[in-house]
Structure 1
Amino acid sequence: MSNLKQVSIYTRGITTASGAGGYGAILLYENQRKELSGGFQLTTNNRMDILAAIEGLKALKTRCKVTLYNNNGYLVDAIANNWALGWQANNWKNSEQKPTANVDLWEQLLQFCSQHDVEFIRIKQSAGNQEYQRCNYISRQAANQQNLPADEGYQR
């Protein structure tokens, strides 16, 4: 049996009609709870979902056994099916030899995943999960803030 702390992380990334984006992450460990969020002027939903996972994992102080929940198939499948590791091994080219999008974030996410025992689980957006709904709320609040910074890694 593992002596690692077992942490659940719910993550969500969103974008608004104006192109602003927000992310939210909720970390749960025993009776402890931590909420993280942030936003950017112009970005993509995929970038915000990946960033939410990064920020959640980055907040952990020691190696943990993590179950990370998100509804984005691109994010969950890229980690669960080792696609991101394949892209990295292929010099950030996909199976069609085209450049992988969001390399700046995938590199960070893979680094944080290597520091923990992480399982990614896709959660249905309409599942009614209270933590996921809260995560959706805080990410939307973050995207609607004034004077958001630029997403330096976002390229149109």
Structure 2
Amino acid sequence: MKRVTVITDGACLENPGPGGWAALLRFGQHEKMISGSEAGTTNNRMELMAVIKGLEALKERCDVTLMADSRYVLDGFDKGWVVNWKANGWKTAGNKPVKNQDLWEELERQVNRHKVTWVWVRGHNGHMDNERVDQEARKQATALRDARGFNAGNDEL
């Protein structure tokens, strides 16, 4: 099984607002940066999307070290939130609907395709790869905002 490192980050200029995500995939000496953007989104959705797209880009089952600065994403798996939410019909412990259920379900599908080891990286703390994906995610969000003519606090065209 190939050993791959995936470093991810998401960004949102307003919350909600124009957002971007990025994933850096590394296999040996090879690297590939993938990224995208979404209008009217949240930071948590972009964090989830970065991981989904990073894992989705892998064409075969891999041993993945997944590095992210989002406790929200990592805790979903490390603390068993996803397992509990599913068992509770996608309700939180407070019996409220789980936010971003669509992305959590897709992320679970992607995680199940691979052997994933989760690694938390403190964001904005000089970790070179984390800084790279952060910069790319922000670049995507900014490009979308500029292209679509978003105004501060207004996601409408």
* Deviation of 1:147 (Å): 3.6
1:6 to 2:3 alignment: yes
Give the root-mean-square deviation of aligned CA atoms: 1.4
> For residues 111-130 of structure 1, what are the structure 2 equivalents within 5 Å?
111-130=109-128
The answer (yes or no) to whether the contact 2:10–2:50 under 8 Å persists in 1 is yes
TM-fit CA distance, 1:72: 1.1
Match of 1:81 in 2: 79
Q: How far apart are 1:126 and its partner, in Å?
A: 3.1
- Match of 1:129, as an amino acid? H
Matched residue of 2:64: which SS? strand
Q: Are positions 1:15 and 2:15 aligned together?
A: no
Deviations 1:63-82 (A, max 9, x none): 00111111111111111122
**Contact kept in structure 2, 1:9 and 1:67, CA below 8 Å:** yes
From the two aligned structures, give the one with the greater helix fraction: 2
- Aligned residue for 1:127, secondary structure, equals coil
Deviation sequence 1:82-125 (CA, Å, 0-9, x none) = 21122122110111111100001001000000110012211101
> Could you tell me which of 132, 135, 147 is aligned with 1:134?
132
Q: Distance in 1 between matches of 2:54 and 2:141?
A: 17
Q: TM-score, normalised by structure 2?
A: 0.88
With normalisation by structure 1, the TM-score equals: 0.88
8 Å CA contact 2:6, 2:64 repeated in 1: yes
Structure 2: how far apart are the matches of 1:70 and 1:120?
8
The CA deviation string for residues 4-26 of structure 1, in whole angstroms up to 9 with x for no partner, is 11111110001003711000000
Deviates more, 1:139-148 or 1:89-98: 139-148
Paired residue total: 145
Does the CA contact (< 8 Å) of 1:87 and 1:100 recur in 2?
yes
Question: 2:95 aligned with 1:97, yes or no?
Answer: yes
User: Letter of the aligned partner of 2:64 in structure 1?
Assistant: V
CA contact 2:23–2:50 (8 Å) conserved in 1? yes
4+ residue segments displaced more than 2 Å: none
